[in-house]
Structure formats: C-alpha cells, structure tokens
Structure 1
Amino acid sequence: MPTFNQLVTRVKQQTMGFTLDQASVSELAAPMDADDTSFTCDSGTVANLSRGIVEIDDELILVKTFEPTSGVVSVMGLANGRGYEGTTAAAHAANALVTASPAFPRARIKEALNDTITALYPHLVVFDTTEITYNAAQMEYELPAAVKDVWYVVAKTVGPSKISQPMSNWRYNPKARTTDFASGKSIQLFDAITPGQAVKVVYAKAPATLSAGADDFATVTGYPDRYVDLVLYGTLKRVLPALLSGRLQQQSVEATERAMLVSPRDISSAIQMNASLYAERLEEERSLMFAEIPNYATFQGS
C-alpha cells in the first residue's frame, strides 16, 4: 500500500542507482515560510550547496549566495526564485533536506508518475458499480459522470433464487441530454424486468491521479497495489530521457565530463529495458483484468 511519496522515493532510487550516485545535501536549521527570500541551513554542511537550483521537499529554489559561517542562503530574484521551474512555493520544516542541483526533481517525478497512471487507461480500467431501481414506465436511466463504458448489466429476479440475471439488451449512451440526465451519461434498458427490482451496472472508469504525498496508491487511483511495479517502469521510461537531453548542453563541467563516461547507448539501453518491462507487465495485467472480471456477451440494442 505505497503512498505517493514512497513511489517518488522508489523512482529516485532507481534513477540514482540506489547508493551509487549520491546528491550533495544540507538541511534547514530553522523553518521557512512560503514567502521567505532567505533561509538558514546547517553551517556544517551548507558548503555542499552552490549557486543554482536547490530542492527542498517538492519545491525548487534558485540560490544566489550562501554564508558559510552563519549558514544563511539568499534566494536569487527574491520571490521570483521561489517555486522555480513551475514548482509551488511552500513552507518547510526545520531539518528538511536541501538537495543541490537535483538530477531528477521530485516535482518532475510526480508529474511522470501521474502521466503514467493516466496513460494506463483505456488499456487498464478501474471498475465501479451503480444500482438502478427498474421502473416499467422508464427505459433510460442516469449513470454517474465518471462512467467511460459499461462492462455488464445484471438484474435481480423475483423469488428465492437470489439470481442476478445477465441482461442482454441494453445500450450505453455517453451523450445523453443533460436536460434529462445531469451527468450526460445514461443507459437504455430493453429487457423485460419486474418493476421495482434492482439493476446492477458494472462500469469502467479512468483512474484518479495522486496529489498529496500521503495519498495511498490503491485508494486514490482505484488500481490494485500489484500495478505499482508497472507504474514504476512507465515512470522510469519517461524520466530517463532527461539524461539524453542533459548531454546536449556542454556548459557545465559535470555534463562535459560525464558525456565521456556515459554513452548515449547506455542511457538508451536503460530506457528500452524499462519500456520492455512496462510493455510486458501491461500485457500481463490486461489479460488478468479480462480473466478476473469477465464480460457477458451482450447485444447492445440498435
């Protein structure tokens, strides 16, 4: 039952080779607010920082200077240097880690994780249900706005049998009149059903994305926890190409030196490996989805 923050950590470990490539870090000596234009780091480790981008929690900050004795760090451009590169300026607690020049910012990893989750639909869907009470004078009924497609429909039968009879003649209407059905989604039922009986509609919907760091993967997205490795492979194939983009600029000493040691072929191999693992797991889960929740053969009206 991993949380959003735990998924980010797992991706970062994969991209950094667990302990093989360690970032330069310091820590906040005092809390900082979202509008502060300077902050204080631990004086014993502030020298690990340099002018440029630092990361605190999910926020990127542009550093101008730092004072090695007091540990005071000044922000470049004052408020313009907070929430840098599209991140959100936020308050940070004392002892929060300050990472210098993060190779893979947490904000970008979170975006890639959510992009991967979103892209799983329609290959893998989230299942949900709704119930309708059948009315003999009504043939069309409203469905929730989240419905993307109807998987199957069953209706309760009269008597002690407790059978939910599969319905074979229905039609999903994704563009229903909003004057009649506020959600804009409806289902038309053409089979003979005893009035007052419950009709269960099993439908497919898209997954929800993660937001807060404490968001639980399964609870929020609707996907089972076994999809986590699939999402990680998909995220890695999205973030690793940034290493290739970094090789295109030769303005920093690190980029110039690393270009001679890590070839484009090595990076491409890592991307292809994760893409291959992603495709393999996606096919496995898609087959399992159809096996776990079989769809009834239906004739959907005309």
Structure 2
Amino acid sequence: MATRVLESAPNLGQLYAKAAVTAWGRGGDLPDEHLARKGVTVDPAHLAAYTRVCRLPLNDVLPATYPHMLTFPLQMALMSDRAFPLALPGLVHVRNRIEVLGPIGSDALLDLEVWAENFATHRSGAAVDLCATVSAGGQEVWRSRSTYLSRGATAPEGAPEAHIEVAVGDLERVSATWRVPDDAGRRYAKVSGDVNPIHLSGLTAKAFGFKRAIAHGMWVKARVLGALSGRLPDAIDVDVSFRKPLLLPSTVTLSTAQAGGGWDFAVRNEKSATEHVVGTIRPH
C-alpha cells in the first residue's frame, strides 16, 4: 500500500462539491492508499469553539472526539476521490468507535493517518470502515473506526457481513433532558467543517429525503461525553451506533447506567422514545 502525505487539511466544502459531480458510475474495490499529515498542531481558538458547541470542558487535554476534527478531512478526501467505490452523497454514518490510549496534550505535535477497509455487505446495501490513527512523539495515542452505509449498493462477492449495532444494557433512568435547537447542525458545521447539506437546513435536508435538518451524530456523541466529564478515565473506548436521525429542533433525553467499569447510554426522543444514539464507554 502507498501512503500519500498532505501538506495541509483538505477543504471539506470543495470535497463535498467534488463528490456530488463524480457520484455516478463508481464501483470496484477500495483504494489501496493511506492519506497522512505530519506535525499537525491544534489551533487553541478552534479547540475552544469546539468545546463550546459540544458542551465539553476546555483544558490542556484534547476531548476524546476532537481528533476526529483533524482526521475527518483526510477521510473525506479518500471518499470523495473517484477511485472510492461508493458515492459520497447518501453515505450514512452508522457506527463510530474511538479508542483513546492516553491523554493527548492540546499542545502536542500530531501525526495523522487514515485509510479505508472492510468493504462489507448489509441487508440494506454495502458498508465500509474509514479508519484513523493519531500519534504523538512516535507513539499511537488515538484511533477510530467510522462505519458508513450505502443503501442499495453492492459489496464485492464474498464480502463479510457488516456489524453496525452496539449492545447496551437496561437504560430506563433519564439523567438529562436536552432541547436541541434548529441551528445545532449549522453551529457544529461551522466548527467541524462538515457542511453536508442534510445538517444545514430543512430545505437542503428535504432534497435528500429528510423531513427536517438532522443533527450530526458526532456532535451527539461529544455531548454525551461532555455530560459525563469528570467521571471518565483518561484512556477510554467509546463505541456508538447511530440509529434514527435526530431531527432539528427536538427535545431528547440522555439515559445512562454504569456497566463494565464504564457506562452504557442512550439518547432518545423525549416524546416517542425513538433511539437516536446508543453506545458504551469502557476503560481502555
């Protein structure tokens, strides 16, 4: 496999536009290429803005979800490239697993690397994993695996079955209620650069089959970690399944239960109890 080192972060808006005009006629196997960046520093102003929009504490250690801000543009560059077999428009983020191997200082020099693997079949189509790793001082400190589903697509013959569900225990106790405003998608998009139209307005979301704009799954995941801040170890594994879209605006509940030395949790619609995000947090 080849590794291509980029000098700067790709522009996500340009990548979404590129993906839209090259969506048709894709196919084949996953590209055998890694994308990387070296010596990346964290912008303190951006980190502060991210923690504000996600309700996370701001200190000298990066939140567990923050490295996703750094690696996601590289993953988007892979998925928007014509060599990627699945069209980016319509890809749905259905599962995300993050492993924090230890505290990551906000002033650390970080090396990033991403790749695609595990082209899998699913009853609704085909799925693929976008993997990422972050190193500091030559040591891996963070890794993630984001599973995307392409409805109606076909995986290669003999492909394994995709696993997108996360099992959680009994979660009846509501620990918090959140009112999620209609601009939550736009506010997170401004910080994350994830300007997927389904998150920005009801008008653009309807073009992709949604009744209203929907919240970013990674924003919901970060909000959960913010709600549990101060009760988590430095090294953790956070595994979530993104189930039903969280339409904006909405009122949702957070239910939590201690399990396995960590936590199980679920974010549900307050009225219908529809599950939007369920997951587990465990010591690494």
In which range does the TM-score fall when normalised by the shorter chain? Answer: under 0.3
More strand by share: 2
More helix by share: 1
Question: What TM-score results when the alignment is normalised by the length of structure 2?
Answer: 0.23
Question: What TM-score results when the alignment is normalised by the length of structure 1?
Answer: 0.22
